[in-house]
Amino acid sequence: SFVLKRPTMLKFLLLCALVAANRAALPLEEEEDVLVLKKTNFEEALEAHPNILVEFYAPWCGHCKALAPEYAKAAGMLKADGSDIRLAKVDATEETELAQEFGVRGYPTIKFFKGGDKSSPKEYTAGRQADDIVNWLKKRTGPAAPTLKDVAQAESLIADNEVAVIGFFKDVESEGAKAYIKAAEAVDDVPFGITSDDAIFSKFEVTKDAVVLFKKFDEGRNVYDGEITKEDLLHYIKANQLPLVIEFTEQTAPKIFGGDIKSHILLFVPKASKDFQEKLDQFKKAATGFKGKILFIFIDSDVDDNQRILEFFGLKKEECPALRLITLEDEMTKYKPETPEITAENVVAFCTAFTEGKLKPHLMSQDLPEGWDKNPVKVLVGKNFEEIVFDPKKNVFVEFYAPWCGHCKQLAPIWDQLGEKYKDSPDVVVAKMDSTANEIEAVKVHSFPTLKFFPASEERKIIDYSGERTLEGFTKFLESGGKEGGAPVGDDEDDEVDVSIITVASLDSIDKVSAEMYETNVMVVGVDAGFQNHLQAQDICNHALGPLSWVC
């Protein structure tokens, strides 16, 4: 047997200690100033860096790829500033234990670890541009509104950011200044500063306590000199931090949907067209009178990634330029102008009618197809829906589906069997409707497939089906008049949802991750084609959007 003598053993142990120390001393691997973390060095990184932002990503995720250059840029900016904040990344498809430990259910998931504590990291909630990342991190590691001691500091804050806010207070301990600090703490995506310096007051021509929002667009600056409360300041900042007219892009989506303004007017226009600037100028001219009430957005109708948005509003490329208005309160409601011509006067009239409650919702409908009633399963569209389902002499069972929904495809042969079973019934109708192309005021569809029963009655009663999706289950339901397996509309049947519809601009616009990924599958549309195919194959998406969005 092999036995180490005492001197040899001491040398061996010393060698092991040196190897271990050398290994520990090795710097963490970096790629473009971003630390590359694995399970083997994760805790070491947290100990070495008191403030560290970690991105959990998947190599195949298109939105992780889109984030990568901005993430690296932010890492470089912080490093150049001599900051102790570091950015890191973890391949969650390889480091599955880490992903599970930190509840990673979607990509990219970004978490901030402070003071080496891995028990309660903070979810990153700001935008996906380098400036957004840096500003968010600086607010998490320093004062929400750093004190500006001279003109150079103030000018630097303004020059380095698209939007910046400075609080001018003769007394930085005043109640107004304290309210300003509270407002600064509540805003993640805009940097703040505070000053009592006379030279800075003079430089920016401020004579009394005020809050000034500086921006590199539109008016250049907005001065708030009213009563300074946290709530009033937040409203003022939200209303002025975006351009009067903003283009919808992956980068602007978080600001569009994360703001307080829930009424959006959309101009669909090809940017390459000769009259693009003329249309945009007319649109912008109309926007002035609705600042803080309606968000004015334009969308390049030629961009491939925007075609789903056009479809969602029932538009085709050849119909653009075109206007649509939508509200995001509770239920998304769309509006279409009576006059298609894009002029400032027409836009103002359209928006005024909306604010005065004089517009009727615009509901999409396909044309009634030939032979819609020739097959056992009848085809419904918006134009014939009311007539068929609310026939007081008919019991109508309807599947509301989406063409891309995997669960709907699985249900299709069973639904056809049900139609065949009742094709000769004098009072039972089995039907289906494509809810991505048809909208009904009486029925709001939030998931696919949705099954609703409209019993023969003058009362326009609606019963949700919540039983087993089998021929036997459907038959029992119909034979019982909607009692066995049914629940009246309004009952909470979330447990039965298969594919929740979350319409999003892109995964980069999503700040929150669904904790119920495996309990309620989620379908997201409006993502890059490769990732969308991946999602559709599984009917799974790991993300959930806080506010509703109009992008589909």
Over residues 332-356, the pLDDT tens digits come to 789 999 988 999 999 999 999 999 9
Over residues 450-474, the pLDDT tens digits come to 999 999 998 899 999 989 999 999 9
User: Is 351 a known active-site residue?
Assistant: no
Does residue 19 sit within a domain? no
Residues 381 and 462 in one domain: yes
pLDDT computed for residue 8 by the predictor? 59
> Any residues with CB less than 8 A from the CB of 113 and at least 6 apart, and which?
46, 51, 52, 53, 54, 121
The pLDDT of 126-147, averaged and rounded, is 89
Does residue 198 sit within a domain? yes
Residues 175 and 134 in one domain: no
Last residue of a domain, one of 181, 211, 240: 240
Residues 330 and 229 in one domain: no
Residues 274 and 235 in one domain: no
Does residue 504 sit within a domain? yes
pLDDT above 90 (res 14): no
Higher-confidence residue of 214 and 518: namely 214
Does residue 550 sit within a domain? no
Number of domains in the chain: 5
pLDDT computed for residue 501 by the predictor? 36
Residues 255 and 204 in one domain: no
CA pair distance 476, 465, nearest whole angstrom: 11
Q: Could you tell me the residue range of the domain that residue 281 belongs to? A: 245-355
Residues 236 and 172 in one domain: yes
Query: pLDDT band at 10, cuts 50/70/90?
Result: low
Of 351, 408, 541, 552, the active-site residue reads 408
Paired sense of beta strands 210-215 and 192-195, if any: unpaired
Query: pLDDT band at 26, cuts 50/70/90?
Result: low
Higher-confidence residue of 34 and 525: namely 34
Residue 201: CATH number of its domain: 3.40.30.10
- Any idea of the CA torsion for 502, 503, 508, 512, to the nearest 10 degrees? -30
Over residues 406-426, the pLDDT tens digits come to 899 999 999 999 999 999 999
Over residues 143-188, the pLDDT tens digits come to 999 999 999 999 999 998 999 999 999 999 999 999 999 999 888 8
pLDDT above 80 (res 443): yes
Residues 211 and 314 in one domain: no
% of residues, the chain, pLDDT over 90: 59
| Average pLDDT of the chain, as a whole number | 83
pLDDT above 50 (res 489): no
Last residue of a domain, one of 80, 114, 139: 139
Does residue 549 sit within a domain? no
- Copy the structure tokens of residue 92: 């969650």
Residues 62 and 124 in one domain: yes
Give alpha helix (H) positions in 395-524. Answer: 406-421, 471-479
Query: pLDDT band at 545, cuts 50/70/90?
Result: very low
Does residue 369 sit within a domain? no
pLDDT computed for residue 55 by the predictor? 97
Of 16, 320, 351, 405, the active-site residue reads 405
pLDDT computed for residue 207 by the predictor? 94
pLDDT computed for residue 494 by the predictor? 36
Contact (Cβ atoms closer than 8 angstroms) between residue 326 and residue 334? yes
**Beta-carbon neighbour count of residue 73 at 10 Å?**
18
Query: pLDDT band at 6, cuts 50/70/90?
Result: low
CA pair distance 395, 461, nearest whole angstrom: 11
pLDDT above 50 (res 539): no
Element (H, E) at 213: strand 210-215
pLDDT above 60 (res 138): yes
Residues 171 and 130 in one domain: no
Last residue of a domain, one of 119, 139, 159: 139
Contact (Cβ atoms closer than 8 angstroms) between residue 436 and residue 402? yes
Query: pLDDT band at 295, cuts 50/70/90?
Result: very high
pLDDT computed for residue 116 by the predictor? 83
Does residue 10 sit within a domain? no
Of 64, 320, 351, 552, the active-site residue reads 64
CA pair distance 74, 132, nearest whole angstrom: 9
Residues 301 and 403 in one domain: no
pLDDT computed for residue 499 by the predictor? 38
- Which amino acid is residue 338, in one-letter code? E
pLDDT computed for residue 189 by the predictor? 81
pLDDT computed for residue 325 by the predictor? 96
User: Is 552 a known active-site residue?
Assistant: no
Residues 132 and 154 in one domain: no
pLDDT computed for residue 358 by the predictor? 93
pLDDT above 80 (res 503): no
pLDDT above 90 (res 247): yes
Sheet strands (E) in 478-544: 486-488, 499-503, 512-513, 522-525, 543-544
Does residue 16 sit within a domain? no
Residues 122 and 147 in one domain: no
- Copy the structure tokens of residue 84: 């102790």
